[in-house]
Chains A and B, each alone.
Chain A
Amino acid sequence: MKALPNIISKDQLIVLSKGQSWETLWIILLTHTIKRLRYRYGIREKNDQLNARAKTHLSEVLDIIFIKGTRNWNSDHYPTFQDFLISVIDSHLSNSFSKSTLKEVRFEEKGDNRLSENAEDDISYKELKEKSFKILQENGASDDELLVFECMADGIVKPQDIRAELGIDQNAFRNIWRRLNPKLEFVRKKIESDE
């Protein structure tokens, strides 16, 4: 017999929410929303406008969860409260933008990214990875930064997994990321401009 999904009731949700550190959680959710608006939906606004837009979306998400109650938390799919909130934010943004003229830039021009990859795609991706690696080297990326880049390009995109793979602690990872992130932005722009 198939097990029933583990749905958290609204009363439990309130209790769990009251046990959270919202000062910290809000910062993470706000950052997540701003990044999604910027990277996935290509919103280019002044930072204060982007912040205000993100906060409006977050208020709507709280309303959906706690007042309207139209989103249930299946804890089998989203083990933590933060995972659940982030899934609702992503779903809410997707719904909002599917109704507007703004579309996801992430999926622009590429169709369905779940299509199976063929050998040609593999070669192309390998070439792109090598090209990016070279751009990073030319721009002074250290060995540590290059290792993190390689993990990422190979599909290891969780910081704790990268730390485990490279045997480094959180502080070391933070320092590498602070230096690598602007270089990745540069790589992205360079590759886009090379089209």
Chain B
Amino acid sequence: MNKKSKTKLFEKFEDLSMNVTNDDVQMATEFLKELGIDAEEESVFGLKEIQRTYFLYKAHQNQSRDKSLLQILQTKISESFEKNASLTGQILQNALSQNRASFQFRNIENWSEDEMREVLSDIDLTKLLEDLDNLEK
């Protein structure tokens, strides 16, 4: 009997064993129990793990959305400053007033995306964009 034959037979053992527990949660639970693993405890852990994943997914989505909003805002602020510097400054001041009352907007139109992110990280970017849009009307 050659090694190839043994491997072929052992593969079939493994495949059937895997399929038995993939197709039947009762058999999977029994397998875990044989190893001394509490299936109920693992179910709770699994639920928490997928909830944690959804949370991270949402955070990731928000981060991507905010990054794109920041890029739009950067352009919009530069344009708004050119048209009406004092009103633009007032809008920014209002947006930040709760958290950064003493903030100065010197040269904000020339700030980098990272600098803007640091300053604008805790405000509603969509609302600020709307306010700047309204300034043009």
Within 8 Å of chain B (Cβ to Cβ): is A100? no
Question: Which one of B53-61, B91-99, B125-133 contacts A?
Answer: B53-61
Q: Say whether A27 contacts B28, CB under 8 Å.
A: yes
- Size category, B interface: 35 or more
Q: Say whether A124 contacts B15, CB under 8 Å.
A: no
Q: Which residues does chain B contribute within 8 Å of A192, judged by CB atoms?
A: 6
Q: Say whether B21 contacts A124, CB under 8 Å.
A: no
Query: Chain A: how many interface residues by the 8 Å CB criterion?
Result: 64
Give a binary string over B23-34; 1 marks a CB under 8 Å from any A CB, 0 the rest. 111111111100
Q: Which residues does chain B contribute within 8 Å of A131, judged by CB atoms?
A: 1
Given contacts A30-B42, A110-B7, A124-B4, contact A62 B28 (CB under 8 A): no
Question: Which one of B43-51, B71-79, B81-89 contacts A?
Answer: B43-51
Q: Known pairs A31-B22, A158-B23. 9 more at Cβ < 8 A?
A: A17-B50, A26-B46, A32-B18, A40-B14, A55-B45, A63-B56, A106-B10, A110-B7, A157-B12
Q: Which residues does chain A contribute within 8 Å of B47, judged by CB atoms?
A: 22-23, 26
Per DSSP, chain A at the interface is: helix
Within 8 Å of chain B (Cβ to Cβ): is A95? no
Name A155's closest neighbour in chain B (CB-CB): B12
Q: Say whether A27 contacts B42, CB under 8 Å.
A: yes
Within 8 Å of chain B (Cβ to Cβ): is A127? yes
Q: Which residues does chain A contribute within 8 Å of B56, judged by CB atoms?
A: 63, 66-67
Give a binary string over A59-102; 1 marks a CB under 8 Å from any B CB, 0 the rest. 10011001100000000000000100010000000000000000
Q: Say whether A26 contacts B57, CB under 8 Å.
A: no
- The chain B residues found within 8 Å of chain A, CB to CB, are 1-32, 35-37, 39, 42-47, 49-50, 53-54, 56-57, 60
Q: Say whether A30 contacts B46, CB under 8 Å.
A: yes
Q: Say whether B25 contacts A113, CB under 8 Å.
A: no
Q: Say whether A30 contacts B32, CB under 8 Å.
A: yes
* Complex A-B, nearest 10 residue pairs according to Cβ-Cβ distance, in ascending order: A26-B46, A31-B28, A23-B43, A157-B15, A124-B5, A47-B35, A125-B5, A157-B16, A62-B53, A31-B21
- The chain A residues found within 8 Å of chain B, CB to CB, are 14, 17-18, 22-32, 34-36, 39-40, 47-48, 50-51, 55, 58-59, 62-63, 66-67, 82, 86, 106-107, 109-110, 113, 117, 120-121, 124-125, 127-129, 131-132, 152-153, 155, 157-160, 162, 170, 174, 177-178, 181, 184, 188, 191-192
Given contacts A27-B39, A32-B22, A170-B24, contact A62 B1 (CB under 8 A): no
Q: How far is the CA of A158 from the CA of B72 in the complex (A)?
A: 55
